[in-house]
């Protein structure tokens, strides 16, 4: 017994053309099902919640603090996603480790340098697995390049609160 018999049947069971047609029908049915499932998932209502992010910007000059204002819109410079608006601004002196005369490391303030902490309020999709603003995940430790209409800076997300 060969692979194809005299009547053109595969293993003597099914015609080769019938097998190709059957496989095409199965592939088309699977493609239609997966496309419909993806479309149904997209049509689900996305509920946005208010979130509050603390963003830490380190080692900047004092004029950088003046370029941020409460109410400014903050965007991710890479993805152009609007992250929210600045609701609070705090600053603290920038400190570096320095060796004192006894040989110990101490944190010493650096003149004309600041750390800035921005509190940004925005809307995000919150679920058990993630917090997302559009297609960007909001995670503590994320390093972002942020823009306002006056400035651009590298910031680290140091806190996220959902309300």
Q: Tens digits of per-residue pLDDT, 91-113?
A: 999 999 999 999 999 999 999 99
Distance separating alpha carbons of residues 134 and 80, to the nearest angstrom: 10
Is 93 in contact with 113 (CB distance < 8 Å)? yes
Containing 3, the helix (H) or strand (E) segment is none
pLDDT, tens digit (0-9, with 9 covering 90-100), for 8-67: 776 667 777 888 888 999 999 999 999 888 777 665 566 789 999 999 999 999 999 999
Q: What 3-state class would DSSP assign to 43?
A: coil
pLDDT, tens digit (0-9, with 9 covering 90-100), for 45-56: 667 899 999 999
The reported pLDDT for the residue numbered 36 is 87
Strand partners, 125: 48, 132
Q: Round the average pLDDT of the chain to a whole number and report it.
A: 89
Kindly report the pTM of this predicted structure: 0.69
Percent with pLDDT over 90 in the chain:
68
């Amino acid at each position: 017994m060969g692979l194809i018999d005299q009547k053109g049947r595969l293993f003597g069971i099914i015609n080769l053309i019938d097998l190709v047609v059957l496989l095409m029908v199965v592939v088309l049915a699977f493609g239609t099902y997966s496309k419909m499932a993806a479309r149904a998932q997209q049509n689900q209502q996305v509920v946005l919640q208010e979130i509050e992010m603390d963003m830490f910007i380190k080692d900047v000059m004092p004029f950088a603090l003046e370029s941020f204002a409460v109410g400014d819109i903050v965007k991710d410079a890479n993805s152009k996603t609007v992250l929210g608006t600045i609701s609070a601004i705090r600053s603290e002196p920038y400190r570096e480790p320095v060796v004192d005369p006894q040989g110990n490391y101490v944190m010493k303030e650096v003149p004309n340098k600041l750390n800035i902490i921005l509190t940004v309020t925005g809307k995000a999709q919150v679920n058990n697995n993630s917090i997302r603003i559009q297609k960007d995940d909001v995670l503590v430790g994320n390093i972002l390049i942020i823009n306002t209409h006056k400035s651009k800076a590298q910031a680290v997300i140091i806190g996220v609160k959902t309300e």
